């Protein structure tokens, strides 16, 4: 699948990263294709410092909720033994981190943006105004703090943020278009 256009500057939400890392999870192919197009176009890609924390939890959640993973993956990593075997947990978590490091290494420019007190303060406002969950609000506040308007996610809740241009990889197009130009306009 070749996308006709992807933004030159885009903020990646954790949902897209997880889907691009783990084959067989919902939206994996579309997220992989979207990210491959970002690589091909040499887009500048951004994420929050909290992505690593969310990523670790998501990797753990996938292993402890086996219905979310293909049977082949479950067997390959012996995930049925997750609860009783520390070596299974270590192997699975290490593999997730390895995949993440390989993923970010594909991009010509990948920026991890710091989580600062002003970002936290802005995230509280986002939570109040748009009824967002705390970690989602941090992603919005981080993108805003760096003037990033293009925002790739699998979460429809971000459509409530009027100043973001939300990209949902399965749909392979921008779902919203705020007014004005900025770093994220192309």
Alpha helices in 65-145 (DSSP H): 71-76, 86-105, 117-130, 134-145
Decide yes or no: CATH 3.40.50.1010 for domain 9-174.
Answer: yes
Which residue's structure tokens are 């989580």? 115
- Which DSSP state fits 47? E
Confidence at residue 26, expressed as pLDDT on a 0 to 100 scale: 85
Higher pLDDT pick, 178 / 49: 49
Q: What is the pLDDT of residue 181?
A: 35
94-142 per-position pLDDT tens digit: 999 999 999 999 999 999 999 999 999 999 999 999 999 999 999 999 9
Helix (H) or strand (E) holding 52: helix 51-64
CA angle 3, 161, 174 (to 5 degrees): 15
pTM here is 0.86
Structure tokens at 46: 């951004």
Q: How far apart are CA 26 and CA 24, in angstroms?
A: 7
Q: Where are the domains of the chain?
A: 9-174
**DSSP, residue by residue, 14-29:** HHHHHHHHSTTSTTHH
Write out pLDDT tens, residues 32-82: 999 999 999 999 999 999 999 999 999 999 998 877 888 888 999 999 999
Tokens coding 153: 């996610």
Look at residues 58, 63, 53, 47 and name the one whose alpha carbon lies nearest to residue 139.
47
pLDDT reported for residue 93: 96
């Amino acid at each position: 699948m070749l996308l006709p256009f992807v933004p030159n500057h885009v903020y990646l939400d954790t949902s897209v990263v997880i889907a691009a890392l783990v084959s067989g999870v919902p939206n994996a192919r579309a997220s992989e294709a979207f990210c491959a197009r970002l690589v091909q176009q040499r887009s500048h890609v951004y994420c929050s410092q909290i992505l690593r924390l969310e990523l670790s939890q998501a990797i753990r959640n996938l292993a402890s909720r086996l219905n979310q993973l293909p049977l082949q993956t479950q067997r390959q990593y012996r995930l049925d033994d997750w609860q009783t075997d520390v070596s299974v947990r270590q192997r699975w978590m290490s593999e997730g981190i390895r995949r993440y490091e390989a993923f970010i290494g594909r991009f010509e420019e990948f920026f991890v943006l710091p989580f600062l007190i002003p970002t936290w303060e802005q995230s509280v406002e986002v939570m109040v105004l748009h009824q967002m969950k705390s970690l989602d609000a941090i992603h919005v506040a981080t993108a805003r703090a760096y003037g990033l308007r293009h925002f790739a996610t699998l979460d429809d809740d971000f459509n409530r943020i009027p100043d973001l241009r939300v990209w949902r990889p399965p749909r392979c197009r921008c779902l919203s278009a705020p007014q004005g130009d900025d770093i994220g306009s192309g």
